[in-house]
Amino acid sequence: MNAADLAALETPLLLLDEARMQRNIARMQQRMDALGVRFRPHAKTSKCAAVVQRQIAAGAQGITVSTLKEAEQFFAAGIDDILYAVAIVPSKFDHALRLVRAGCRLTLLVESVAAAEQLAAHGRANGHRHRVLIEVDTDGHRSGIPPEDARLLAVAAALVDDGAELAGVLTHAGSSYSLNTPEALEAMAEQERAGCVRAAQRLRAAGHACPVVSVGSTPTALHARRLEGVTEVRAGVYVFFDLVMAGIGVCGVDEIALSVLATVIGHRPEAGWVITDAGWMAMSRDRGTARQAQDHGYGLVADVQGRAIAELSFGEANQEHGVLQWRGAAGAELERLFPLGSQLRIYPNHACATGAQHPAYQVLAADGTLACWPRFSGW
Amino acid sequence: MNAADLAALETPLLLLDEARMQRNIARMQQRMDALGVRFRPHAKTSKCAAVVQRQIAAGAQGITVSTLKEAEQFFAAGIDDILYAVAIVPSKFDHALRLVRAGCRLTLLVESVAAAEQLAAHGRANGHRHRVLIEVDTDGHRSGIPPEDARLLAVAAALVDDGAELAGVLTHAGSSYSLNTPEALEAMAEQERAGCVRAAQRLRAAGHACPVVSVGSTPTALHARRLEGVTEVRAGVYVFFDLVMAGIGVCGVDEIALSVLATVIGHRPEAGWVITDAGWMAMSRDRGTARQAQDHGYGLVADVQGRAIAELSFGEANQEHGVLQWRGAAGAELERLFPLGSQLRIYPNHACATGAQHPAYQVLAADGTLACWPRFSGW
């Protein structure tokens, strides 16, 4: 690390450890290769073409997005196999079609007969067969159709049409985020796999080809022991990891590639406080570790080299002020230990949320050089 | 309102009710005029030149900002009297000086002898006298020097220099956010006023002119009964208001000018869930009402006209999914009550945090026309 270069930068800023990120990319891709499935990373975490290009270079096939803005931006960056993994609604059909007309191989998602019928009608009216997956619910945490539900076949029937083509099924076991043992994560990965494969089997028994069986979340992808019947896996946050993932047990803090670089702007020795310029605007309001065994407040404070400072907790945040509480001895020494203008690194609870607060990554390469990679936001 | 125009828009988006905003601007300005003080709105809430121009047109004199990026953007938009109200550190001195050299009348803030000395040295080295306020702590909630603290005079002494000019004192009674009765807010406003005026008196007794006495927060500004000795008041969130402010008792829900327009993308009738495309990315993770008497989850759900729907609570959010829980009877009717593709408006807990998630405001004028006002982000 070139601390001299960092010290000259105005903070707060989003710091990306490139070597850690590359290790995270390699770890997941090797696992997917060993399990014999395609890997389609979720680009909502980085919203950055340079990051996604490295995932593709490592072996990823296509990407997953959570907004059409992401599809648009990544398609403009040269990625043409894109899965929009949020149930689409009519006000977004034309936007999706524009991307297809421009040459994007865009796959859409529905979970209701109403959406399937309206999407098929839109395709017919525009002379295009939308490529569509059906969202399957395998853990009751959000949306989708349970594998045994009668609606599954009704939605599929609405997609056999000149305006829509049923490409397969998709599920996301988001409830894996509330687990924290290898055994529970392994069981959830199997539940996710088995439920999605079961939905595909029912569709095939009804005469649908159902070529795609897409599953995934970072915790289940890293704990699946077998993926028979699955054709592709999706995961997002693994590329950076974060404190929530560390709390779940899928990474160590020393694998977290993302941090916020902050500067000490003040002290309240009598209260044991160190004030920095990284408030909730820089960290986000995400308090994802609050429900875990180890609550990290607004983030885990580390020195500029990335080594955690156990005695300094980040309990309060205003918009542009972070209030760090010193829990060690000799509070009167705070101004000497953390002088005005000195820098700290703060590991985030949730990489997707913290990243979204920033317009760019400052990328620190293994050789100590710095680069700036822009990221986008909005819809 | 022109609901037909809204229905054509892709969501989620940030909707601004212009008439409500104008009423909020007028209410605060009239109050400040009646109290005989200058008003310097905090532009961190809107980060939008069109909003700030309306505050200036109503009588505001200069603005407050929380980052130098805000100073830069608003100076570029023609506002040249800017107070950067976060304690400055050396890595930001050059940036501040560039703004001054370009013609901005920029006032800075310090709260330590170290910062005052380094800033004065920077000014001397560059042939400029930085204009500086000292941050005073009147409620122990964050940073600043207590009025009776010996450091107050030491910091002031460091600012009597060719490189720095002591312009006055500033305080922000941020702990007003945890109060909820008119009496407590009135008492906090008086505490804020008295503490800041006391600091100015001590400085004047020591021979400093101390022309500026700057106080403020939205709750105290709206509850101050007298402001003797105060020269200017700052407040930010009043321009839009939000659910936290409603919980404190300084506005009604029908005065909240900001909401997120969302679209229904799915249902889980058996769980009583309506799924929308406004997740935490659109709302922010701010759960500011969680500590208030009325916890609004991730926001208060309303129909597209802005009328609250009491039976629909917003308890869970994923990145691009909002999970609304129906608490009324006849859950099986959810798909009829809130059809796929229909729109909802969601009032935010915290306008500053929710606004920051969006690249622009869709501004709905009283005559039903829509306009787009960009907002900026980052540092």
The CATH number of whichever domain residue B266 belongs to comes to 2.40.37.20
For residue B207 the two structure tokens come to: 């021979």
Indicate yes or no: CB of A66 within 8 angstroms of CB of B320. Answer: yes
B220 and B256 part of one domain:
no
* Positions in chain A whose pLDDT score sits under 50: 1
Q: Long-range contacts for A315-319 (Cβ within 8 Å, ≥24 apart)?
A: A317/A279, A317/A280, A317/A283, A317/A285, A318/A279, A318/A280, A318/B142, A318/B174, A319/A279, A319/A280, A319/A281, A319/B44, A319/B66, A319/B352
User: Which of A265, A304, A314 is most worth mutating to test chain B (most B CB atoms within 10 A of its CB)?
Assistant: A265
Indicate yes or no: CB of B264 within 8 angstroms of CB of A89. Answer: yes
A211 and A307 part of one domain:
no
Nearest-Cα distance to chain B for A102, in Å, is 19
Nearest-Cα distance to chain A for B114, in Å, is 7
> Is there a domain that residue A379 lies in?
no
Indicate yes or no: CB of A356 within 8 angstroms of CB of B353. Answer: no
> Is there a domain that residue B245 lies in?
no
Q: What is residue B331's predicted lDDT score, i.e. its pLDDT?
A: 64
User: Which of B139, B318, B324, B358 is most worth mutating to test chain A (most A CB atoms within 10 A of its CB)?
Assistant: B318
- One-letter amino acid at B242 equals D
Q: What is residue B5's predicted lDDT score, i.e. its pLDDT?
A: 84
Q: Among partner residues A90, A143, A353, which is closest to B341 by beta-carbon distance?
A: A90
Q: Among partner residues A66, A91, A264, which is closest to B263 by beta-carbon distance?
A: A91
Q: What is residue B370's three-state secondary structure? A: strand
Indicate yes or no: CB of A341 within 8 angstroms of CB of B7. Answer: no
B174 and B260 part of one domain:
no
Q: Is the peptide bond before A12 cis (omega within 30 degrees of 0)?
A: yes
| pLDDT, tens digit (0-9, with 9 covering 90-100), for A160-195 | 999 999 999 999 999 999 999 999 999 999 999 999
Distance CA A197, CA B187 (A): 64
Residue with tokens 């070139």: A2
Residue with tokens 């991730």: B298
**CA-nearest residue of chain B to A281?**
B353
Nearest-Cα distance to chain B for A227, in Å, is 26
> Is there a domain that residue B210 lies in?
yes
Q: Which residues of A touch B112 (CB under 8 A)?
A: 266-267, 340
Mean pLDDT of chain B: 96
A263 and A171 part of one domain:
no
Count of structural domains, chain B: 2
Q: What is residue A227's three-state secondary structure? A: coil
Cβ count within 10 A of residue A31: 18
Q: Among partner residues B87, B285, B378, which is closest to A353 by beta-carbon distance?
A: B285
B233 and B264 part of one domain:
no
pLDDT of residue B2 exceeding 60: no
A71 and A150 part of one domain:
yes
| pLDDT, tens digit (0-9, with 9 covering 90-100), for A60-102 | 999 999 999 999 999 999 999 999 999 999 999 999 999 999 9
Nearest-Cα distance to chain B for A91, in Å, is 6
**CA-nearest residue of chain A to B9?**
A91
User: Which of A108, A113, A118, A143 is most worth mutating to test chain B (most B CB atoms within 10 A of its CB)?
Assistant: A143
**CA-nearest residue of chain A to B264?**
A89
Q: What is residue B15's three-state secondary structure? A: strand
Q: Which residues of A touch B281 (CB under 8 A)?
A: 66, 356
Query: What are the phi and psi torsion angles at A172 (to 5°)?
Result: -140, 115
> Is there a domain that residue B244 lies in?
no
- Show which of A237, A263, A298 is a domain's final residue: A237
- Show which of B192, B217, B239 is a domain's final residue: B239
Q: Among partner residues A66, A111, A112, which is closest to B319 by beta-carbon distance?
A: A66
B200 and B294 part of one domain:
no
Q: What is residue B269's predicted lDDT score, i.e. its pLDDT?
A: 87
Query: What are the phi and psi torsion angles at A134 (to 5°)?
Result: -100, 130
User: Which of B6, B64, B91 is most worth mutating to test chain A (most A CB atoms within 10 A of its CB)?
Assistant: B91
Closest-CA residue to A166 (of A195, A202, A193, A218): A202
Indicate yes or no: CB of A359 within 8 angstroms of CB of B377. Answer: yes
Buried b (16+ CB within 10 A) or exposed e, B352-371: bbbbbbbbbbbbbeeeeebe
> Is there a domain that residue B44 lies in?
yes
Residue with tokens 């005029």: B33
Across the range B183-196, mean pLDDT stands at: 98
Q: How many CB pairs under 8 A join A and B?
A: 148
Nearest-Cα distance to chain B for A231, in Å, is 25
A171 and A99 part of one domain:
yes
**CA-nearest residue of chain B to A69?**
B10
Give the pLDDT band of residue B219 (cuts 50, 70, 90): very high
Indicate yes or no: CB of A263 within 8 angstroms of CB of B323. Answer: no
- One-letter amino acid at A29 equals Q
User: Which of A47, A145, A268, A291 is most worth mutating to test chain B (most B CB atoms within 10 A of its CB)?
Assistant: A268
Q: Long-range contacts for A119-125 (Cβ within 8 Å, ≥24 apart)?
A: A119/A88, A119/A93, A119/A159, A119/A163, A119/A164, A120/A158, A120/A159, A120/A161, A120/A162, A120/A163, A120/A164, A121/A163, A122/A90, A122/A93, A122/A97, A122/A163, A123/A161, A123/A162, A123/A163, A123/A164, A124/A161, A124/A162, A124/A163, A125/A163
Q: Among partner residues A112, A266, A360, which is closest to B112 by beta-carbon distance?
A: A266
Contact B126, B102 (CB under 8 A): no
Taking the C-alpha atoms of B296, B143, B135 and B200 in order, what is their torsion angle to the nearest 10 degrees? 100
- One-letter amino acid at A31 equals R
Buried b (16+ CB within 10 A) or exposed e, B69-97: bbbbbbbeeebebbbbbbbbbbbbbebbb
For B170, the domain range is: 20-239
Nearest-Cα distance to chain B for A92, in Å, is 6
B224 and B101 part of one domain:
yes
pLDDT of residue B368 exceeding 60: yes
Indicate yes or no: CB of A339 within 8 angstroms of CB of B114. Answer: yes
> Is there a domain that residue A360 lies in?
yes
> Is there a domain that residue B26 lies in?
yes
Distance CA B107, CA B88 (A): 11
A224 and A262 part of one domain:
no
B126 and B258 part of one domain:
no
For residue A268 the two structure tokens come to: 């309240």
Q: Among partner residues A86, A92, A114, which is closest to B321 by beta-carbon distance?
A: A86
The CATH number of whichever domain residue A133 belongs to comes to 3.20.20.10
Q: What is residue B4's predicted lDDT score, i.e. its pLDDT?
A: 65
Q: Among partner residues A8, A111, A114, which is closest to B91 by beta-carbon distance?
A: A8
Nearest-Cα distance to chain B for A280, in Å, is 9
Distance CA A104, CA B352 (A): 36
Q: What is residue A2's predicted lDDT score, i.e. its pLDDT?
A: 57
Q: Among partner residues A112, A118, A341, which is closest to B90 by beta-carbon distance?
A: A341
Indicate yes or no: CB of B12 within 8 angstroms of CB of A111. Answer: no
Closest-CA residue to B224 (of B6, B20, B39, B26): B39
Largest Cα separation within chain B, whole Å, is 74
Q: Which residues of B touch A340 (CB under 8 A)?
A: 89, 112, 114-115, 118
B366 CB contacts (<8 Å, ≥6 apart)?
Answer: B18, B19
Q: What is residue A270's predicted lDDT score, i.e. its pLDDT?
A: 86
For residue B242 the two structure tokens come to: 């939000």
Q: Among partner residues A266, A285, A339, which is closest to B285 by beta-carbon distance?
A: A285
- Show which of B182, B207, B239 is a domain's final residue: B239
Q: Which residues of A touch B275 (CB under 8 A)?
A: 87, 142-143
B222 and B367 part of one domain:
no
ipTM above 0.95, yes or no: yes
> Is there a domain that residue A242 lies in?
no
Q: Among partner residues A86, A263, A323, which is closest to B142 by beta-carbon distance?
A: A323
In chain B, what percentage of residues exceed pLDDT 70?
A: 98
User: Which of B268, B337, B343, B373 is most worth mutating to test chain A (most A CB atoms within 10 A of its CB)?
Assistant: B268
